[in-house]
């Protein structure tokens, strides 16, 4: 996934998007490719706030599934295997990310508000339905948390990231990393809340309290977010078929999408299993509860800091390095057995994984040739990324077995992650060659 030339320039890559002209004050019928971006202002930052809160409620909640995985395996769904239970979280993540293949196209066609309102409503409804699920009734949890909440998040995820392209140019990377940090903030808040209420209030009341918090935050998002391009005037140029053919022959984009998919196979393993890993190694229970909080606090830093360096270091370079370092840390989970090892893994993996997530959106913007195709490019890439996340944690759970043989899923997740990182490296090579080819006629 790459970024927009007007926003973030890779030191290796040069953006191909044409300059944006003709300033328009508010909502407009000007074609997206000719829109001048304000790079700030009250409504721009209010929209960033709304997008940030959406990330708190969807990706942040999905990243907190490790709390549910631990609770379900040990107490609530004891008649199902860890692999079967992980399907709930992986399906939720798949629908959240891959829903963008539909939501992105609808966003490009001007349906931002129906996606925002409908997705928010479905997310809240599904979480309240989850609170009514009975112990050892796997299908109830699967349908409400895996399917319902996943679909709701999928309607809002890509639009909430893509809308920044209507407001920001030079400061787009900063805006997107602020938005991405919402997922980490949510992944701190939700585990703290759930771990401290599940034992005291019970499953139903804890989930209802959590659903109430999500409802309030999404309501704020619905009130403050605004689009600058009016309705159907935001349609992408050309048919979906033409656009898909175009991006399918963009080899840098193809390499980035493969990198996303393969890396995502191993990406969720630490997030879903770190707390359970710490618990089964007989570490202090209170500390085990806070392992995800440490990981996600570090992830918040990893999502914000890149925004200040993306112009100098390049989005493509940073995402390639972040995925490589994340892969190394996943291999490190083989030796997890002490409090110190959990802390180190949580800190380092959280930071590098957070950097990866923060740069996914900017990478797609950089690879887009026009603002009107950002939604579809994000949607397709995130769809394949979701497939990786969908199959990764269940395979990890199957390798783990009910005897908790931890080195098997750690090796599997580490290998797939490093292969995904290599695909981003290939993307850099393609983009560098493209840059050289463009420069040759000029020098001649």
Instruction: Please write the tens of the pLDDT for every residue from 39-95.
Output: 778 888 999 999 999 999 998 898 888 899 989 998 999 999 888 999 999 999 899
Does 5 have pLDDT greater than 60? Answer: no
Q: What is the pLDDT of residues 164-209, one digit of tens each?
A: 888 887 787 778 778 878 887 898 899 999 988 998 899 999 999 9
Widest pairwise Cα distance in the chain: 74
What are 205-232's pLDDT values in tens digits?
999 999 999 999 999 999 999 987 654 4
Task: State the chain's mean pLDDT as an integer.
Answer: 84
| Cβ within 8 Å of residue 116, ≥6 positions away | 155, 156, 159, 160, 221, 222, 225
Handedness of CA 57, 62, 63, 66 (dihedral sign): positive
Query: What are the two backbone dihedrals, phi and then psi, of residue 42, each rounded to the nearest 5 degrees?
Result: -60, -50
Which residues pair with residue 229 across a beta bridge?
28
The encoded tokens of residue 235 equal 């349609």
Give the CA angle between residues 343, 64, 157 to the nearest 5°: 125
Quick check: 388 and 51 in contact, CB under 8 A? Answer: no
State yes or no: pLDDT of 233 exceeds 60: no
At 3, the pLDDT band (50, 70, 90 cuts) reads very low
Greater model confidence, 136 or 377: 136
- For residues 407 and 314, what is the distance between their CA atoms, to the nearest angstrom? 34
Tell me the backbone φ, ψ of residue 24, rounded to 5 degrees.
Answer: -130, 135
Query: Which residue from 417, 187, 432, 434 is spatially nearest to 319, judged by alpha carbons?
Result: 417
What does the pLDDT average to over 29-42?
65
The alpha carbon torsion through 298, 72, 273, 289 (nearest 10 deg) reads 40
Return the CATH superfamily for domain 32-443: MFS general substrate transporter like domains (1.20.1250.20)
pLDDT of 311-349, one tens digit each? 788 889 999 999 999 999 999 999 888 889 999 999 999
Distance CA 33, CA 20 (A): 6
Q: How far apart are CA 246 and CA 206, in angstroms?
A: 47
Give which of 283, 257, 330 is closest to 98, Cα–Cα: 257
Query: How many angstroms separate the CA atoms of 157 and 135, rounded?
Result: 30
Average pLDDT estimate for 282-302: 83
User: pLDDT, tens digit, for every residue of 117-160?
Assistant: 999 999 999 999 999 999 999 999 999 999 999 999 999 988 88
The reported pLDDT for the residue numbered 156 is 93
Answer yes or no: is pLDDT of 378 > 50.
yes
- Measured CA to CA, the distance from residue 364 to residue 315 in angstroms comes to 10
365 with 10: CB under 8 angstroms? Answer: no
End-to-end CA distance of the chain: 31
pLDDT score of 236 more than 80: no
Give how far Cα 375 sits from Cα of 68, 180, 231, 246, Å. 32, 17, 15, 14
């Amino acid at each position: 996934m790459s970024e927009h030339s007007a926003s973030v320039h890779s030191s290796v890559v040069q953006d191909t998007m044409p300059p944006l002209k003709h300033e328009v004050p508010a909502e407009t019928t000007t074609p997206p490719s000719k829109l001048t971006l304000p790079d700030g202002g009250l409504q721009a930052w209010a929209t960033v706030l709304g997008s940030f809160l959406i990330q708190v409620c969807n990706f942040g909640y999905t990243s907190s599934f490790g709390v549910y995985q631990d609770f379900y395996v040990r107490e609530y769904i004891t008649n199902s295997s860890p692999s079967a239970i992980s399907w709930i979280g992986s399906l939720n993540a798949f629908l959240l990310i891959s829903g963008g293949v539909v939501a992105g196209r609808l966003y490009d066609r001007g349906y931002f508000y129906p996606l925002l309102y409908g997705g928010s409503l479905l997310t809240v409804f599904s979480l309240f339905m989850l609170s009514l699920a009975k112990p050892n009734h796997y299908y109830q949890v699967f349908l409400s948390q895996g399917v319902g909440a996943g679909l709701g998040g999928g309607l809002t995820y890509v639009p909430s990231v893509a809308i920044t392209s209507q407001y920001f140019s030079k400061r787009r990377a900063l805006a997107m990393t602020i938005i991405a940090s919402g997922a980490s903030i949510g992944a701190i808040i939700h585990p703290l809340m759930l771990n401290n209420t599940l034992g005291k209030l019970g499953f139903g009341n804890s989930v209802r309290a959590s659903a109430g918090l999500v409802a309030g935050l999404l309501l704020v998002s619905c009130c403050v977010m605004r689009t600058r391009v009016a309705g159907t005037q935001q349609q992408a140029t050309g048919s979906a078929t033409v656009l898909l053919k175009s991006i399918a022959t963009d080899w840098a984009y193809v390499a980035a999408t493969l990198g996303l998919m393969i890396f995502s196979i191993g990406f969720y393993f630490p997030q879903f299993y770190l707390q359970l890993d710490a618990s089964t190694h007989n570490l202090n229970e209170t500390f085990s509860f806070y392992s995800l909080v440490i990981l996600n606090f570090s992830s918040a830093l990893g999502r914000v800091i890149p925004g200040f360096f993306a112009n100098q270091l390049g989005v493509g370079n940073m995402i390639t390095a972040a995925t490589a370092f994340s892969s190394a840390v996943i291999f490190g989970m083989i030796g997890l057995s002490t409090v110190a090892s959990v802390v180190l893994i949580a800190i380092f993996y959280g930071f590098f994984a957070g950097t990866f997530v923060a740069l996914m959106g900017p990478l797609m913007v950089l690879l887009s040739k026009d603002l009107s195709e950002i939604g579809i490019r994000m949607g397709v890439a995130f769809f394949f990324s979701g497939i990786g996340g969908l199959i990764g944690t269940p395979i990890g759970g199957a390798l783990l077995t009910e005897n908790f043989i931890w080195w098997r899923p750690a090796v599997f997740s580490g290998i797939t992650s490093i292969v995904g990182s290599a695909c981003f490296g290939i993307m850099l090579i393609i983009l560098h060659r493209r840059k050289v080819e463009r420069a040759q006629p000029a020098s001649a």
